[in-house]
Structure 1
Amino acid sequence: MAKSGYHHGDLRATILAAAAEQIAAEGLDAVSLRGLARRADVSHAAPAHHFGDRAGLLTELAIEGFGLLAAQLAAAGGDFREVAVAYIRFAREYPGHFDVMFRRDVLRADDQRLADARTAAGDALRSGVALQQPDGTPEHQRSTRLAAWSLVHGFASLWREGALGDSSLGNPSDPEAMARNMIATVAFE
């Protein structure tokens, strides 16, 4: 039976939000265009009209996620500690986006908008690190940026996967406090 017709103000945004919600709750493998169409009560062809295929949908979700991440990192200012906590906060607030953004195997790697969004978010993270070691050699600066990204992304991933729930390493009910304590122990000099 055909659906009763288009009735959403912004089907594209509705489908993206439903995908992010489903990924956060059920994992990436649970997402399909047909399933999202059922959730939105539209024809199974409607999501394909906006995204083409699953990779197109996930790429759009990643682009949206990198934009949200860049905004949060920029709002945190130049202090690395606050930028790092903003990164971890993003992973907590947007788990569906976070779970997709770094999964190159499911994204359209040749999408220039994705590359640009990824670069903008990376620039915002790097700005917080640059203040920590402004006079370092280019190689030292690259290594420091990699260490900083690995630190915050690793922590965010551990928290997202529930690995910190039973850990004796801190208070998993307050991941931002745990992150601040962890970051305070690391010197990027």
Structure 2
Amino acid sequence: MTRTSYHHGALRGALMDACLRLIDTEGIAAVSLRRVAREAGVSTGAPYHHFADRAALLAALSANGFERLGAALAAARATADTPLAALTALAEAYVRFSREQPAYFRLMFRPELSQPEKHPDAAVAGEAAFAVLADTVADCVAAGLVEPERADTVTVAWWGIAHGLASLWLDGQLAKRANLMHTTAPDLVQNIIQACTGVLRRGVN
């Protein structure tokens, strides 16, 4: 393979992009610094200028993924007119992120690979993304939609709903179930999220 020259500042990004391509095409198990270097078209020693080992590379990708997710959630929240609409928008944005960024999503929730005890940036970025949801539930509390003592429970439950839908869709299971129900995966996701939102709405009526 022809070696490609990168400006030092661009090499890190090129390596991360190459790693994402490997995850997309062959899965996380295929990732090694040697394979990533070959995918990026650089020498096998080049990755060590930026990443001490495989875990450091995966941790950097996880952090970047959570930052992207957090930005997507914040943007979705900003478009909503009410706290309840914001919760719906967050769940939809979460599922959409998994569909648009499957390599990131498959990696972000694998702490045994990114070793957060050694590389805390991913955990920090993950908490920042989670805070967008927590703040939205706090808005629901302020609006009288959620009882204050249930705020933490509702936050985790909403995350669980969104993450479960995202994972099932990404793994192809949601499409199979939707087909048995004579509907489509997008419509099924939307109906489930709306049903969950309706439960909260009825809880205050």
**Residues 1:179 and 2:189 are matched in the alignment:** yes
Distance in 2 between residues matched to 1:132 and 1:96, nearest whole Å: 32
Shift of 1:19: 1.2
Structure 1 Cα separation of the partners of residues 126 and 193 of structure 2: 23
Structure 2 unaligned blocks of 5 or more: 78-82
Q: What corresponds to 2:148 in structure 1?
A: 137
1:98-142, Cα deviation, whole Å (9 max, x unpaired): 11111111112122322221111001122333333445233x111
TM-score, structure 1 length as denominator? 0.88
Alpha-carbon separation, structure 2, partners of 1:34 and 1:85: 37
Deviation digits for residues 68-116 of structure 1, max 9, x if unmatched? 0000000001511011111111111111111111111111212232222
Give the stretch that moved more between structures: 36-45 or 53-62.
36-45
Of Structure 1 and Structure 2, the greater helix share is in 2
Moved more, 21-30 or 68-77: 21-30
Task: Quote the residue 2:37 is aligned against.
Answer: 37
Larger radius of gyration: 2
2:106 counterpart residue number: 99
What is the match of residue 91 of structure 2? 84
- Aligned pairs (5 A) from 1:50-61: 50-61=50-61
Code of the residue aligned with 2:133 in structure 1: it is: L
Q: Which amino acid aligns with 1:61?
A: L
Tell me the alpha carbon deviations over residues 28-70 of structure 1, each in whole angstroms, 9 at most, x when there is no partner: 1111111111111111111122111110010000000000000
**One-letter amino acid of the structure 1 residue matched with residue 171 of structure 2:** E
Query: Which ranges in structure 1 are unaligned for 5 or more consecutive residues?
Result: none
Q: In structure 1, what is the Cα distance between the partners aligned to 2:133 and 2:190?
A: 16
CA distance in structure 2 between the aligned counterparts of 1:76 and 1:183, rounded to whole angstroms: 15
Question: What amino acid does structure 1 have at the position aligned with 2:188?
Answer: M
Aligned letter for 2:63?
Answer: I
